[in-house]
Amino acid sequence: MIEFNIPPVDRTFVPQLQDKIDNLNKPKGALGRLESLALQIGLVQHSLTPQLHHPCHILLGADHGIEREGVSVSPREVTWQQMENFCRGGGGVNMFCRQHGFKLFIVDMGVDHDFDPALPIINRKIAYGTQNFLHGPAMTAEQMQQAINTGAEMVDRCFEEGCNIICFGEMGIANTSPSSIWMSLFEDIPLERCIGAGAGLNSKGQQHKYNILKAAVDNFFQTTGIHPKHLSEEQRNNKVINPYTSKETELILQWFGGFEILAATGGMLRAAEKGMLFLVDGFIMTAAALASICLNNNVKDYAIFTHCGDESGHRMMLDGMGADSLLSLGLRLGEGTGALCAFPLLVSAVNMVNEMDNFQHANITKYF
Residue 32 lies in a domain: no
The pLDDT value recorded for residue 368 is 66
The pLDDT value recorded for residue 290 is 98
Active site residue 335: yes
> What is the domain count for the chain?
1
The pLDDT value recorded for residue 360 is 77
Is residue 287 helix, strand or coil? helix
Residue 153 lies in a domain: yes
- Give me the catalytic one of 35, 160, 335, 355: 335
Residue 164 lies in a domain: yes
Residue 25 lies in a domain: no
Q: Who's near 359: CB < 8 A, 6+ residues apart?
A: 23, 24, 25, 365, 366
Residue 137's CATH number: 3.40.50.10210
- Helix-strand-coil split of the chain, %, nearest 5: 50, 10, 40
- Torsion sign across C-alpha atoms 220, 221, 223, 225: positive
Residue 337 is part of which domain span?
56-344
Q: What is the pLDDT of residues 120-173, one digit of tens each?
A: 999 999 999 999 999 999 999 999 999 999 999 999 999 999 999 999 999 999
Residue 329 CB burial class (10 angstroms; 0-12, 13-18, ≥19): middle
Minimal CA–CA distance to 161: which of 59, 260, 57?
A: 57
> How many residues in total does the chain contain?
368
Residue 209 lies in a domain: yes
Q: Which residues of the chain have pLDDT under 70?
A: 197-199, 312, 362, 367-368
Q: Are 162 and 51 in contact (CB under 8 A)?
A: no
Residue 355 lies in a domain: no
The pLDDT value recorded for residue 40 is 98
* DSSP assignment of 67-91: GGGT--SS-TTHHHHHHHHHHTT-S
Residue 243 lies in a domain: yes
Residue 73 lies in a domain: yes
Residue 208: half-sphere exposure toward Cβ, Cα within 13 Å: 15
